[in-house]
Amino acid sequence: MFDLEKEFLYDLNKEVKTGTTVMAVTFKDGVIIAADSRTSSGSYAVNRVTDKLTPVHDQIYCLRSGSAADTQIISSYVSYYTNMFSIEEGSQPTVKKAAHMFREFLYQNKQYLHAAIICAGWDPIDGGSVYSLPLGGSIVKQPFATGGSGSTYLYGYCDMNFKENMTEEEAEKFVTYGITEAIARDGGSGGIVRKAIIDKNGVRRKTVYGNKLKKFWEK
Amino acid sequence: MSGIGTGYDLYPTTFSPDGRIFQVEYAHKAVENSSTAIGLCCKDGVVFGVEKIILSKMLVEGTNRRVFSVGEHIGIATAGLTADGKRIVQNARQEAKNYENFTSDIIPIHVLTERLSIYVQVFTLYNYIRPFGCSLMIGSYDEEKGPSLYCIEPDSVALGFYGCAIGKGKQEAKTEISKLKLSEMTCKDAVKEIAKILIKTVHDETKEKEMELEMSWVCKETKGKHKLVPKKLIEEAVEWVKGQENEED
């Protein structure tokens, strides 16, 4: 017998996950990161305007996918340590350092966590960098990275369209269209596209609202 | 026996009426009893030299180490109670390794120095553990930042130096060091100069037994890695010092 109440409550009590699409891409002057804005709990959209672009330091951001609680707590730990280290050392932290701190937390606690992170930013030593930290706690430096449930729909798109040393405009189009496509195809992704451009001058945040998202094949 | 600090010098937890902690000052005395160690910041690196008194002909050469490596890129030279020095170096090695594991970067020398300072300071706070009876010189070389040399004393004060000496003959050594043009000196020259100061100025041949030179460096030539100076170079330096003596006579 289908119990509406029981089914509905079960759904609401499911762990809050960011079924998600996130992307980070290096371009000539730095990195551009982008994400959708849906946080879901089962089939209920807990937040349709989530900000998944989480600052770790002035010019280092992370993109969170997987369990919302797990990724939030870890990025707050890494933010704490990068701040402490940069004060102790008197110099700006590198993206490499922040990414490796993420790795330490993700790997050492892998039994308890369901978290995947993309750590991206700009530092004076390596310029723009993107590090992908998937579920098991490994770390890979890449020219671009995608993550979340919607990223499965973007492998072909990214492989065909990515170029090294893109201009800012090209890179912005690349990520915006990517997230838009994933929102269209993935049920776990939706809402608006949030972007951040990180280069030597700092961080510029942009948003593309739902009605402005480009329509592709479907009308 | 009553000395200056009588009554106020039993524990590090007591200040004297004139604001001194005598136990920490006595720890300095322990350093002053030991043989001299010198550290020089040259234009392309840092060189350490230690005057090691050979207590017995039965001792193997190179035993009783006074310079240590921390990570690959930092060297520490000690004066005072060697065992205390080894304990601090142990702590330094742990700090360096933990930092590297966590951040995937090698520990910057000023961060390590700061942490060792804090560590040493803890032992000046309680009455059930004594302060360390040793001074340390910490040196490293970086392509961008250049050479760095720090010295931590038993009171935990860490200062940055261009040239430093610790131990029995530190006063004479410091006088000689101040005469050197360190910014123009290469590490190879520094090896000779340090040998000269230790053999001629600091070591008293009449009073003390034979000495052994232990020297190490971190420089451009070693690609920023802390290594013992090759034996050949030390022997050449000693020859050079003997030659200088003959010239002066």
pLDDT tens, position by position, A184-199: 999 889 999 999 999 9
- Interface TM-score (ipTM) > 0.85: no
Do A57 and A121 form a contact (C-beta atoms < 8 A)? yes
Greater model confidence, B129 or A15: B129
Q: Please pick, among A20, A21, A54, A94, the residue that the annotation labels catalytic.
A: A20
pLDDT value of residue A13: 61
Interface test with B, best of A82, A91, A97, A119 (most B CBs within 10 A): A97
Confidence of residue A8 (pLDDT cuts 50, 70, 90): low
pLDDT value of residue A65: 87
Give the rounded distance of the alpha carbon of B144 from its chain centre: 24
Q: Which residues have C-beta within 8 Å of that of residue A154, sequence separation ≥ 6?
A: A21, A23, A146, A178, A181, A182
Confidence of residue A41 (pLDDT cuts 50, 70, 90): confident
Give me the mean pLDDT over the A34-54 stretch. 89
Of A81, A89, A100, Cβ closest to residue B104:
A100
> Is there a contact between A100 and B108 if contact means CB atoms under 8 Å apart?
no
- Quote the pTM value: 0.87
pLDDT value of residue A43: 80
Among residues 79-98 of chain A, which lie with CB inside 8 Å of chain B? 81, 85, 88-90, 94, 96-97
Indicate if the pLDDT at residue A15 is higher than 70: no
A66: left (phi over 0), alpha (psi -120 to 50) or beta: left
Whether A20 is a known active-site residue: answer yes
Nearest CA in chain B to A108: B102
Q: How many helices (H) and strands (E) does chain A have?
A: 5, 13
pLDDT value of residue B246: 74
Of B102, B104, B111, Cβ closest to residue A96:
B104
Instruction: Give the β-pairing of A60-67 and A17-18.
Output: antiparallel
> Is there a contact between A97 and B105 if contact means CB atoms under 8 Å apart?
yes
